[in-house]
Chains A and B, each alone.
Chain A
Amino acid sequence: MIARREPSPLARTTTGFLFVAMVCWIFADIAISTADPWREFGLLLKGIVTPDFYSTNSLGLALAYTLAFALLGVALANIFGFGLALIFHSRTVRVGCAFIRSIHELFWALIFLQMFGLSPLTGVLAIAIPYAGIIAKVYAEILEEADQRPLSAIPVGAGRASTFLFVRLPDAWAHFRNYSMYRLECGLRSSAVLGFIGLPTLGFHLETAFKEGYYSEVSALLILFYLVIATMRIWMKKPLLPVYLVAAAAILPWGVAFSWSNVSRFFTVDIVPYPLRVGGDGSIAAFGDWLVMMLFDQAWPGMVATFQLTMIALVATGFLTLIFFPLISPLLLGRAARTGGHTFLVIVRSTPEYILAFVLLNLWGPSMLPAIVALSLHNAAIIGHLIGRYTETVQLRLDAVKGANRYFYEVLPRVYRPMLALLFYRWEVILRETAILGILGIATLGFYVDSAFADLRFDRALLLILITAMLNICVDTISRSIRSRLRLQTTLEQR
């Protein structure tokens, strides 16, 4: 008799996550509640093939603003992120960066709206702040993992500044540049989505057109958006960057009134919990009641739904990735089929998951299903792309099996570890996005945050945002410990 082998830690982790996701699925609300979802879908398809570029007022301006917010936001984030990366060894900086990046740019924008109103500052800072936190972390990792050999070649007595400038920086610079390009792409997506809450970007018109069912207009807006992202490598040239930044700063309508009293009011009045703000006898007891009400009536159900949706979406992303990566893998498909695969993955991953979820919600009604599909499609397209590219480096034996056997016995075992590494890496991203989807009406934390903002109760909103941030930091920590325990590594190109 053969002794039963202990399951590997990798298999155990996989089974564990599958099990949790299945339990979440059982309790999840995944109904399609619209009476005739396919009719609406038909109208949408009809709109998609008949784009109308002339019905949106000031379409060019919306496009310009989308670019301007993204460029300025990402540029600012780069400057601050780079500075923070240099002092990333400080614990305070690390924790601070983890905190600012755990709050989604839409939440930042909702906060800044209260202080600056519809001023460009709102949009620029909403992108710059969370991105600075992300960039700081990635740049710090790049510097840490850079080739150490040049360091041993420097002469004795070289100053710290010149060591950094001439030895460490040149090696990391190319990585910084590549990563900045990727961040700019993310920035364009974020900038477009900021329109959903009132900034004058493409999302502003997209949301309206969708809500009113003007799908030809929707189609035109989306096509423009894809074009901007697809041509980014052509128009984004280094010598032109200063020109773009000046132009971006020039076109934004900075004339909107700004007052420090609005800013200080936010910190000293608005976010002070209501019972403490009114004060008086028993305000401490009232604050206790307020806190209990917030935690049990809003934060807890919101957290449960957020976690539930995140886990289902994470595992669904894994399954979809298994289907998506072969689409561009030379080990499994021919050249013609791969071109189609590339196009498909580019479109799916360029569409912000927020917009994808919004579309599906309109078709199917508000349950977790649209969110699950949107999150897993978008993330699987990203991971599928990276894994597909990874398979280009894999060498199979000349007599390796073909077809399904090749997929299951040759390719899958080789890509499984990197795939899991990426999945765990994106776990936190999925959670952040899950929370924000609540704004669209799914009962995750974002739903309660949005309700608090709608009621102009900023004390409640801020408490819920802080709780969302804590949840995010927890998941990030767990994910990191799983990755290090299973020795799953992501390379620089994959972040």
Chain B
Amino acid sequence: MKFRTILVAAAVIALPVLSATQANAAEGFVFTAIPDQDESQLRKRFDKVAKYLSKTLSTKVEYVPVKSYSAAVTAFRNNQVQLAWFGGLSGVRARGLVKGSKAIAQGKADPNFETYFIANASTGLTLSKEFPKEIAGKTFTFGSKGSTSGRLMPEFHIRKAFGKVPQQVFSRVGFSGNHSRTVALVQSGAYEVGATNFKVWKKGIKNGTIDPKKVRVIWKTPGYPDYNWSIRGDVDKTFGQGFAEKVQSALISMKDPDLLSSFPRASFIPAKNSDYAPIKDTAKLLGLID
């Protein structure tokens, strides 16, 4: 009897495992987005984008949430998603791993994106034109380890200003995980200084989730290229000739302010891989990509 139970169990388990190995690529067009802010709202934010794309492309489009930047890249690489809303760095990484993939669109603000260095009011620091060298010795938090505006660019400027790695500049260095959390941690005083995405900052100020009495911007980086929609090179083969272009024009013609606020961007404009060369060079310089 016992062995029969085990046998049944074995069959039960083997079946789906076997069938999974034979399953073909999931039907339909799937996209993801890096979890850069308000993680609990990801589904709410992107399901409506999926609906819009489904309608515009007349194909079933699905959104899958991921927990990290690298998971978004991996899903793209493994063809579990064919389109993704990446940051500058995650886009460079993803396109480096998938031959023929291309950046097709970016937000209007993305060619000239900024990182804000922010500080808890208790530090007494205020907005300055020059890089605020007084932040040395304080506690500091980045966003995600794989973020462009929350890691790559702020680390670049920190190293440029001090000639040392952040771990030697600050008394403590953390990675908050995403931009809205960076703001929350600096506002609560968990960290004295942090670096965040300027779009997330502005959205927080507008929504009232940021208390300007507790946390303020102390420095703004020069502009750099950031977020992008990237698509796999083999979509034309799977979804029909000209599909990538159709997706591109669907993104660029997205006009509904409610949809655009998910990103948040005023509108989307075309993008190409070479737009992100500066990000690739910076990442190489910092040793974040080989």
Contact = CB atoms under 8 A, between A and B. Distances in A.
Interface string B1-41: 01001101110110111011101111000000000001110
Interface centre among B21, B67, B75, B288, by most chain A C-beta atoms within 10 angstroms, is: B67
Given A197-B68, A456-B93, A114 B181 contact: no
A451 B70 CA distance: 10
Given A120-B20, A196-B67, A245 B9 contact: yes
A254 interface: yes
A48 interface: no
Given A118-B64, A257-B26, A454 B70 contact: yes
B73 interface: yes
B188 interface: yes
A358 B79 CA distance: 32
A259 interface: yes
A14 interface: no
Contacts of A252: 16
A249 interface: yes
Nearest to B64: A118
B78 A257 contact: yes
Interface in A228-270: 238, 241-242, 245-246, 249-250, 252, 254-260, 262
Contacts of B13: 72, 75-76, 79, 245, 249
Nearest to B20: A254
A25 interface: no
A426 to B, nearest CB: 29
B69 interface: yes
A113 B188 contact: no
B6 A79 contact: yes
Interface in A118-172: 118-121, 124
Nearest to B147: A454
A214 interface: yes
B186 to A, nearest CB: 10
B120 interface: yes
A114 B74 contact: yes
Interface in A384-415: none
A57 B39 CA distance: 12
A34 interface: yes
Given A75-B9, A213-B184, A456-B70, A249 B40 contact: no
Interface centre among A249, A252, A257, A365, by most chain B C-beta atoms within 10 angstroms, is: A257
A123 B288 CA distance: 28
B111 interface: no
A258 B23 contact: yes
A69 B196 CA distance: 36
Nearest to A173: B2
B154 interface: no
A457 interface: yes
Contacts of B191: 33, 365
Interface centre among A119, A213, A258, A259, by most chain B C-beta atoms within 10 angstroms, is: A258
Nearest to A82: B6
Contacts, number: 142
Contacts of B2: 173
Contacts of B264: none
A212 B26 contact: no
Contacts of B181: 211-212
Given A72-B13, A198-B66, A451-B145, A211 B80 contact: no
B145 A454 contact: yes
Given A254-B19, A256-B80, A454 B67 contact: no
B39 A208 contact: yes
Contacts of A117: 74-75, 78, 80
Given A114-B74, A455-B145, A34 B69 contact: no
B270 interface: no
B69 A454 contact: yes
B144 A454 contact: yes
B174 interface: yes
Interface centre among B8, B20, B145, by most chain A C-beta atoms within 10 angstroms, is: B20
Interface in A19-43: 33-36, 39-40
B126 interface: no
Given A121-B20, A211-B181, A35 B190 contact: yes
Contacts of B134: none
Contacts of B73: 456
A366 B75 contact: no
A34 B189 contact: yes
A273 B110 CA distance: 34
B31 to A, nearest CB: 14
B9 A242 contact: yes
Contacts of B79: 257, 259
Contacts of A213: 184
Contacts of B246: none
A351 B51 CA distance: 39
Interface centre among A36, A274, A441, by most chain B C-beta atoms within 10 angstroms, is: A441
A238 B5 contact: yes
Contact of A257 (B25, B178, B189, B190): B25
B127 interface: no
A105 interface: no
Contact of B70 (A209, A214, A249, A453): A453
Contacts of B146: 454-455
A53 interface: no
A213 B16 CA distance: 38
Given A79-B10, A214-B40, A249-B16, A259 B78 contact: yes
A274 B290 CA distance: 8
11 contacts: A76-B13, A118-B66, A204-B67, A212-B40, A242-B12, A245-B13, A249-B12, A250-B16, A257-B80, A366-B172, A456-B93
Interface of B: 2, 5-6, 8-10, 12-13, 15-17, 19-21, 23-26, 38-40, 43, 64, 66-71, 73-75, 78-80, 93, 97, 120, 122, 139, 144-146, 172, 174-175, 177-178, 180-181, 184, 188-191, 288-290
Q: Which 6 A-B pairs have the closest CB atoms?
A: A35-B189, A198-B67, A454-B145, A257-B25, A208-B39, A254-B20
Given A40-B188, A79-B9, A455-B70, 17 more contacts: A33-B172, A34-B190, A82-B6, A119-B20, A120-B16, A121-B20, A208-B40, A211-B177, A242-B8, A245-B9, A250-B16, A257-B23, A260-B21, A365-B174, A366-B172, A441-B174, A455-B145
